[in-house]
Amino acid sequence: MGAEDVAFLARSPNRAAVLAALVDAPCDRAELRERVGASRVTIGRITTDLEARGWVEQDATGYRATRSGQTVVAAYERFLEVVDATRHLEPLLEHLPVEAFDFELSALGDADVVVPTPTIPDQHISRLGTLFQQATSVSMVVHAMSPKVVASSHASARDGDHVTKGVVTPIVTDAILANETVAEQVREMVGEGTLELSERPSVPFQAGVYDETTVISADDEAGVPRGIVETQSRTVREWALGEFERLQADATPLSVEALEPDR
């Protein structure tokens, strides 16, 4: 479906409604008027236009969508889903790693958008801490470290069955070592097997899977998170886990000794 086809349907909601109705089931004009809520003249004009495009055909019983019409409706509905998702993600869209996605943006149409507010400037960071507390399994790719999030992971590991696997950058490793409390917590978790860290020179984005929940960080050009999107989409989860495994495959595992101050 080309841009002109999209424009043709978008200019008149009744056109898309008539074509979708005929995809659902064949109708005559009277049935179409009832289902779409348009006048006789409008229905007549639209069916004529759709026939001219080869999207609808007519027989003795009425109108039906052709194979081309069925394909157009499916493509147009996907287009509208992407438009809706784009509007929904607008607060963070310019900072999301869209170029790394191998799924349609519509998969994030129902995602929760968490951004800092004047009263809760670290709302997105706090949300990550809550997810760590609730999850039993975390797989993450990060280039920044928050002591608050590490503390949540450490508490979860102590309180129950919790394992975190992370691919990090040298910047994260250095930040861990620069904070004595964080370093002690990380070494304890690595030593007990509740935290598995691997280091690689860089990562293309920040994302994490917390049981069934996937979080993607929206980072600005300086790498500062401007917020997160949180989704239960299986498609997005599979993408994030696949990317984690890909990046982990050429990363260097970090042992307790590697996390000592004099490493």
In a domain, 54, yes or no: yes
Residue 87 lies in a domain: no
Give the count of domains, the chain.
Answer: 2
Same domain for 192 and 135, yes or no, is yes
pLDDT of residue 261: 81
- The proportion of the chain whose per-residue pLDDT surpasses 90, expressed as a percent, equals 78
Residue 86 maps to a domain: no
Question: What is the chain's mean pLDDT, rounded?
Answer: 93
Domain shared by 133 and 196, yes or no: yes
The answer on pLDDT for 2 being more than 90 is no
Is 118 part of any domain? yes
Span 77-90, average pLDDT: 89
Round to whole Å and give the CA distance between 155 and 216: 23
Beta strands 56-59 and 112-114, pairing class: unpaired
pLDDT at 35: 93
Does some domain include residue 88? no
pLDDT on residue 164? 95
pLDDT in tens, 234-258: 999 999 999 999 999 999 999 999 9
- The mean per-residue pLDDT over the stretch 186-201 comes to 95
So what's the pLDDT on residue 79? 87
Do 199 and 76 sit in the same domain of this protein? no
Residues of the domain holding 23? 3-80
16 inside domain: yes
For residues 152 and 159, the model is more confident at 152
Arithmetic mean of pLDDT, 255-262: 88
- How high is the pLDDT of residue 249? 97
pLDDT digit string (tens) for 23-69? Answer: 999 999 999 999 999 999 999 999 999 999 999 999 888 999 999 99
- The position carrying tokens 């809550």 is 130
Q: Which CATH number does the domain housing residue 235 bear?
A: 3.30.870.10
Residue 263's pLDDT is 57
Q: In angstroms, how far is CA 23 from the centroid of its own chain?
A: 29
72 with 122, same domain?
Answer: no
Residue 138 in this model has a pLDDT that exceeds 80: yes
Chain CA centroid to CA 51, Å:
38
Cβ contact 62:27 at 8 Å? yes
Average pLDDT of the residues in 13-18: 92
| pLDDT band of 3, cuts 50, 70, 90 | confident
Task: Round to whole Å and give the CA distance between 36 and 19.
Answer: 10
CA dist., res. 31 & res. 125, Å (int): 54
Domain end among 25, 53, 80: 80
The distance in angstroms from the start CA to the end CA of the chain is 58
Beta carbons of 156 and 127 less than 8 angstroms apart? no
pLDDT at 227 over 60: yes
% the chain with pLDDT above 70: 99
Read off the CATH number of the domain in which 54 is found. Answer: 1.10.10.10
Pairing state of beta strands 163-168 and 137-141?
parallel
Residue 92: CB atoms within 10 Å? 22
Q: Are residues 155 and 200 in the same domain?
A: yes
Q: Judge contact between 178 and 155, C-beta under 8 A.
A: no
Question: Does residue 107 share a domain with residue 227?
Answer: yes
Main-chain phi, psi angles of 7, to 5 degrees:
-60, -40
Asked if residue 223 and residue 169 are part of one domain, the reply reads yes
Alpha carbons 219 and 175: distance in angstroms, whole number? 18
Do residue 61 and residue 98 come from a single domain?
no
